[in-house]
Amino acid sequence: MRGTFRVPIHPPGPARPPPFPDEGEDDEEKFTNRPCYEFNGRLGPSFNDRHCRHCRHYLTARCPHLEDFLDDVEDLSPE
C-alpha cells in the first residue's frame, strides 16, 4: 500500500516558571542581555530571548557572573 506520510505537528509545551521570584523590573533586567550570553543550543530557537536562564553557561562554573545568581553563599558552606 502506498501513500503519503505526514509528520505530526505538536504544539509547544507548557511554559516554565522563571527560576527567580519576581521582585521588580530591575531584577528582570539584571539577568537579561549580558555580553557573556551564549544561547543553549539544546533549547528550541523560540527560547533565544537573551535571558540568562537560556544561556549555555547558566548556573555552571563557566558562568562569569555565578555569584549574582547565588543569594547567600554562606548557606552553601558546610557547618
3-state secondary structure 19-34: CCCCCCHHHHHHCECC
Residue 67 dihedral angles phi and psi, to the nearest 5° = -60, -30
**pLDDT tens digits along 4-51:** 767 667 666 565 555 544 444 466 688 899 999 999 999 999 999 999
Q: What is the pTM of this model?
A: 0.53
Domain ranges of the chain: 28-72
| pLDDT computed for residue 12 by the predictor | 63
Task: Report the C-alpha gap between 57 and 66 in whole angstroms.
Answer: 9
